[in-house]
Every structure is written in C-alpha cells, then in structure tokens.
Amino acid sequence: MKICFDSEKYEELQSQKILERVQKFNGKLYMEIGGKLFDDLHASRVLPGFRPDSKVKILQKLSDKTEIIMVVSCIDIERKRIRADYDIAYDSEVIRQLEKLRGFGLYVSSVVLTMYNGQKSADVFSKKLKSMGETVYIHRPTLGYPDNVDLIVSEVGYGANPYIKTTRPIVVVTAPGSGSGKMATCLSQLYHENARGLKSGYAKYETFPIWNLPVDHPVNLAYEAATADLKDKNMIDTYHLKAYGQRVTNYNRDLESFAILKSILYKITGNNKLYLSPTDMGVNMAGYAITDMDGVKQASYNEIIRRYYKALCDNKLGNQPISTAETIKKLMRKHGININDRGVIDAANSKSKQVKAACIAIELNNGKIICGKTTELLSCSSSVVLNSLKELAGIEDRILLLGSHVLEPMLELKKQLTDNKNAVLDLAEVLSALAICSSTDKFAKLAFSKLEDLAYLEAHSSHMLQSDLKTLKRLKINISSEPEYITIQ
C-alpha cells in the first residue's frame, strides 16, 4: 500500500485543536464524535496511511483529561440494527466497544440509552449493562424537537432527561452508528450544566466530509457514496461563506439543522455568536495531513466503485432499495468515474466466464493481478488468497502449499457435518490449515508470514460471497462483488 496520509501529523494536530476548543469554553467540552471511533476502515481506505484507530490514539494523548459516554438508541436495539462491516447487532457492538476502549486505557463513565419509549429489548439490555457494573442513563425523545425551541430547552424538554455526572474537561460522546442521539445527549448536558451555572461547550469531531477540500474532491465524493442510503450531499457551507468569505465543504444535514441548532445553543447559553457556521463547530484536521493527493484521489475512486457494487448486492439480497445504487451511479457518471478504473473487476468477470466458475481477482501492490476460482476442494476466496500468498512469498506455482492429504480429509469431514455434498473449504478453514502446516512446512510458513501484506489490496468477485466475505474483510482486503448468486460449479 502506498502511504498517502501522515497519521502522526494528523494525531498531533487534532490533539492540539481539541485542547484549543476546550479552552474556548472555560475548560469543559462535550465533543460528539461521528463515524467510527476505532476500526475506521473507510478512512483508512480513502486516506491510505490513516490508522483505523487514529481517533483512539488521539484520545489516549488526552486520556487524563477525557472521559467517554457511550450512546445507543433504543429504537436500534429494538429493531436489532446491525453494524454492517462486522455483522454485529448494536447492543453487542456497544459491549464490544466498551471492552476495547477500556483496553486502550480510556475511561468510559456511562452508557446512555436514548429514544426510550418502553421498548422491552432496551429494558433487557439496560439490566444486562447494570449487571456488568455499567452506569446507565435513560433518555426519552425530546419534546418539541426539532421546531419548538422553547419546549426543547425547558424542564419538560432537555430538563426531563437525567443529568449525566461527568468529572473530566473533555467528554467524548460516541455511539455504534449514526442516528444514536449523540448531539441530543450533548445538548441535554449543556442545558443541565448551564442551569447549574457551568458554561460548558459543544463541538463535533467528524472526519468526513473534509471541510478544506472542495465539494467535488474524490475524498468527499467517497463520503457521499458511503452515505448514499442516508441521501447525504456535500455542499458549500453557505453560513461560513457569508460569515468569513471562505468556501468550505459541509453536508446537507448539518446545513439543514444549523439554524435550529444555533437557536438551541443560544437559548441554552445566551451567546448568539458561539458558532457562525456548521463548519465552525468542527475540530477536524485530516485535510492537513494528506501527503499524496493523487494517491488519495485514486483510493477514493476505488472506494466509490466498491460502494456502488455493495449497493447493488444489498439490493439483490433485499436489504436496500435500488435507489441507493442509482444515486451512486449518478455520482459516478457526473464525475467521470468508470467501473473499468478498477482492473480487478474485468479480470474476475473474464476469468469466471472462461472457466465457468466463481472467480476472484486481487491486484498486488506491484500491479500484478492474481486470480482464483472455485474448485472441487476450495472456494474461490481460498484459491485466490493461497495464490496471492505464493506470489508475495516468491513461491513457485508448481509447489502446493496445502496438499490433498491435508485438504481432502477436512472437506470430507465438513460434508459429513453439514450434510452438504457440494461443500468446499472456505477461507477461514483453509487459513487454519495453513497456520497448522506452517509449523512443519517451510513453504507454508513463508506464505503464512505474508498474510498481513494482503491488507488494503483491491479485489473483486464474480459472484456474491457468503461466509468468506467476513474473513476477507478481517484481512482488510478491499473486496467488491457482482450482484450474482453462486449457481455455477
């Protein structure tokens, strides 16, 4: 992977910016963090070199001044909302994040269940959290939101929420996904603290869109493609342009909500000039850490095309309307982005037609494209990963990393256990076999040592993947798929 982003510089600049914002508000700041707090794989794909846990590293720099509030919507718990990149429900994701954050040495003080309206699943989750020793707060929907500011900022609005006890100057409010109620939690706290005579502040920390890159910069277009299902659109921040004469990038939801947000902040604080634009609220320095703009643009084009294929597959599976894919297609057409810009797409599809089997193509860092097909023993994912590892390790093609004496007994057992005569060995099974063989076979050991080199490589499948998709993602391979079921052998 070609490095196009300086994470060290970014983390230092971002830490300084947060501290500056804290000082602006008499030493107490509620900071809403958008996107992924860690495992920010979108950022690492479009900004090659961006560390997926950069936000955590920034908070670690400020750990003695920082505490974290985890927020999750009861609506999402009730409907069993899934975090797509890890295929995990939001309630389980909250627990996973709590454990990981504390593993990083960060202080998580409480969990807030928002939008509570008597959901039984939320009651069960609340009891579970409390049994684990967590401090849990319940927030109901805010009366009057979003139009009636007098009702919102009143004892029956934000005042109806319990006050969350905090002890540190930087209070990070995070969540497993969008729409969880982070901003409402921050503003509720500001209301309560202002009533107590404390003049705390509010800020947003979102990586995308990057405010000091143009609206139609590929990095910002990739954000638009990633949020096509939410109908997000990059726009010039007209408030910022009017206040400062500077053209900066924001997005429709922030612009649409700014007038009411500014009114709420004014009602709470009495300061009408706290923020003059949505961009003013942000503390994002990512744009200053890009080191290779051409590389970032290409990475973003790849991301947009992948998002298009993901939307097509989600539609095929019945998980998303076709309008999401159509939105991304319009964006691609408008900006001259062609699917053939990713060479792995044609390579996988052509190979599949040639061999009449499902195929995957992976492009190595040197530009060479490696293919793998489904065989009687292996899934196409297993084949292409083994072929790629051999290429990366400089192992001759004639040498088998895993012989039939290893694979055939494994497959026979799988067929017996699953009662599936057409079963093949999936990628996780093959990698387990490779790990075991690496203890006794020098070629298997050499190939296994190259596993990390697969991270961030571009890949495409001629057919939709099932169990292997999760494994490929955990290897951080940038995989996309045709919206076709595997029906050929």
CB 366 within 8 A of CB 388: no
- The pLDDT value recorded for residue 212 is 97
Say which range, 62-71, 85-94, 463-472, has the weakest mean pLDDT.
85-94
Q: Show Cβ contacts of residue 367 under 8 Å, excluding neighbours closer than 6 positions.
A: none
Could you read off the pLDDT of 177-207 as tens digits, one per residue? 888 999 999 999 999 999 998 889 999 999 9
Say which range, 84-98, 222-236, 420-434, 464-478, has the weakest mean pLDDT.
84-98
What sign for the dihedral angle of Cα 320, 322, 325, 326?
A: negative
How far, in Å, CA of 200 to CA of 188, rounded? Answer: 11
Does the structure show a pLDDT above 90 at 146? no
Share of the chain above pLDDT 70, in %: 99
- The pLDDT value recorded for residue 489 is 39
- The pLDDT value recorded for residue 86 is 67
Domains of the chain: 7-289 (3.10.630.10), 342-481 (3.40.140.40)
- The pLDDT value recorded for residue 39 is 83
Could you read off the pLDDT of 131-140 as tens digits, one per residue? 999 999 999 9
77 Rama class: left (phi>0) / alpha (psi -120 to 50) / beta: alpha
Give residue for tokens 């109901």: 140
What is the number of other CB atoms lying within 10 angstroms of the CB of residue 340?
8
- The pLDDT value recorded for residue 63 is 96
Average pLDDT value for residue range 27-51: 91
- The pLDDT value recorded for residue 84 is 67
- The pLDDT value recorded for residue 85 is 67
CB 228 within 8 A of CB 323: no
- The pLDDT value recorded for residue 1 is 80
Q: Which residues pair with 370 in a beta bridge?
A: 362
| 291-295 CB contacts, 8 Å cutoff, 24+ apart | 291/3, 291/4, 291/5, 291/6, 291/49, 292/2, 292/3, 292/4, 292/5, 293/4, 295/2, 295/4, 295/48
Does the structure show a pLDDT above 90 at 302? yes
Does the structure show a pLDDT above 80 at 209? yes
The mean pLDDT value of the chain amounts to 94
Report the amino acid identity of residue 421.
K
352's tokens? 């599949």
Average pLDDT value for residue range 231-235: 94
Q: Which helix (H) or strand (E) holds 204?
A: strand 201-205
> DSSP letters along 98-118, please?
HHHHHHTT--EEEEEEES-SS
CB 109 within 8 A of CB 167: yes
Does the structure show a pLDDT above 90 at 386? yes
- The pLDDT value recorded for residue 488 is 44
pLDDT band at 104 (very low <50, low <70, confident <90, very high): very high
